Amino acid sequence: MPKRILIRNGHVIDTEPQPVAHPGTDVLIERGRILAVGRNLRSNGAMVIDATDHIVLPGFVDTHRHMWHSALRSAAVDVDLDAYFRLLGQVGPKFRPQDVHTATLAGALECLDSGITTQLDFAHIAYSPELAEAAVDALKAVGLRAVFGYGTPVNVTGGGKLADVRRIRERLADDNALVTMAYAPLGPLSTPMETVSKDWRIADELDLPLTIHLASTPVNERPIFALRDAGLLRKKTLYVHGNGIGDDELKLIADSGATASATPGDEAGRLRRAGITTGIGVDTVAFAPGDMFSTMRAAHLAGQIAEDPRMTAKDVLRMATLDGAAAMGLADRTGSLRPGKQADIIMLRLDDLNMLTAERDPIGAVVTAAQPHNVDTVLVAGRVVKFAGRLVHADLRRTARSLRATAVAISAR
C-alpha cells in the first residue's frame, strides 16, 4: 500500500453532514486515512489515481447479510417466509467448515466487487465452533471491513453456545481492527425471555453490540415491550426488519438509542420517521440481489409511495453510507469522507452507457442509475482492492469453482 494516494479530479460525493456533490475535486489519502478533500491538492509524491469522468464517494455499508447464503443463491425465490425458514433448517446442518469458508469468501468478494466496503455478516450458521471459525477466517482473508455477527441457527431453540461466543470474542478482541464482532442471537423473535436474558448478559459481559431479527411473532407479539419489561432495552443493539412492530414499540427503540437495519428497504420509512438511525442491508441472496445499488433502488421506490415525507435519493444514499456506519457503531471510522476517517472509497465510471450525462446529478445517479459493473476502483482503509474494474487480490475462478462444488455437495448430502 503506497504511503500516499491522491484521487484526482473526480465528481466527489461526501455524505457528512448530508450528501453533497463537488465536481473537479481531489481526495488525498495518507497511511490509509483521508487527509484532505478539495481542489488542486498537491500530490507530494503520492500515487495518483485519475478520477476524471468518475464519481468518487464513500464505500457502501451493508448492515445485514447472511454471507453463508452465497451457496444458496436464488434458492428461495417466490416462496413464503415459512418455506424459507424450512429451507434454512434443512440445509444449514449440512454445511461443513469448508462450505462456510467458501460461501463467506464468495459473499465478501461480491461485496467488494460491487462497492460495499463495510458489511455485517449475520452468521446464523454457528452449529459448531468450527463453522464459526471458518466464517471468521474467510472474512479476515478478503480485506473487507466486516462485523462478524455470531448467530444462533434458526432451528436451535435453546440459545447460542455461549462458551464459543467467548472464544470468538477472544480472537476478535480488537474493536479497532478491520474485522470486529457482534452477537446475533435469535432474541425474542423465537426464544423465551429466560434465554433472551442469558444472551443479553453475555453480550454485556463481553462488551459486544447486539444485532437481532425483529418481528411480531406468536412467541412474543410485542417483543420490544417484552425486552423493556425484562430491563433489556440497550443502546448497542441493531434491530433488523421490524415487521408488525407498532409505532409505540418503535418509539421505545428510538428512546433507547438503538439502531435499525431495513432490508431490502421497504421498512426504512417507518423506522426513520420514528427517529431511529437506520442503515440498509441486503439480507440474503437466496431471494434478493446482492448489491447495494438494487437495494437502494428498492428503498427509494418504496419511499416514493409511502406517506410523507418521501425519502429522497440523498436520504437513501446517506442510509447506505454514513447512517449505516452509525447503525453499526462505526461512524468514527467510515461512512463519509471526513478527514481523519479511514479511506473506504469507491469510484464509479461515468463513461459507461448507463451513466452518460449523470454528472448533472451524481447523487441521484448513484441511487437510481448505477450498477455493479460501473464500480471501477475500491479502497478499504486505503488499500486498493479493486482497480480498473478488477479485484486485485482474489482468484475469482478458483472461488467460483469452489462455490459451485459447495452448492452441489450440499444438495447431495
Helical H segments across 53-128, by residue range = 81-91, 97-113
- Smallest CA-to-CA distance from 58 within 145, 120, 116, 5 is with 116
pLDDT digits (tens, 9 = 90+) for 88-105: 999 999 999 999 999 999
Give pLDDT, residue 157: 67
**Residues 389-408, mean pLDDT to the nearest whole number:** 96
Minimum mean pLDDT range among 1-15, 293-307, 317-331: 293-307
Give pLDDT, residue 1: 74
Q: Is the pLDDT of residue 306 over 70?
A: no
Whether 242 and 250 have beta carbons less than 8 Å apart is answered as: yes
Give pLDDT, residue 60: 98
CA–CA dist 312, 366 (Å, integer):
12
Give pLDDT, residue 299: 92
pLDDT digits (tens, 9 = 90+) for 333-374: 999 999 999 999 999 999 999 999 999 999 999 999 999 999
**Residues 282-303, mean pLDDT to the nearest whole number:** 94
Tally of CB atoms within 10 A around 384: 19
Q: Is the pLDDT of residue 397 over 90?
A: yes
**Mean residue pLDDT across the chain:** 95
Give pLDDT, residue 265: 63
Residue 269: φ, ψ to 5°: -60, -50
What global pTM score does this model have? 0.97
Give pLDDT, residue 270: 87
pLDDT digits (tens, 9 = 90+) for 153-207: 988 766 668 999 999 999 999 999 999 999 999 999 888 899 999 999 999 999 9
Element (H, E) at 115: none
Greater model confidence, 123 or 270: 123
Give pLDDT, residue 309: 75
**Band (128; pLDDT cuts 50, 70, 90):** very high
Q: Give percent above pLDDT 90 in the chain.
A: 89
Give pLDDT, residue 307: 63
pLDDT digits (tens, 9 = 90+) for 320-335: 999 999 999 999 999 9
CA–CA dist 58, 51 (Å, integer):
14
**Residues 11-19, mean pLDDT to the nearest whole number:** 97
CA–CA dist 281, 63 (Å, integer):
5
- What DSSP letter does each residue of 122-147 carry, written as one string? EETT-SSHHHHHHHHHHHHHHT-EEE
Tally of CB atoms within 10 A around 225: 16
Q: Is the pLDDT of residue 266 over 90?
A: no
Cell numbers standing for residue 318: 446517506
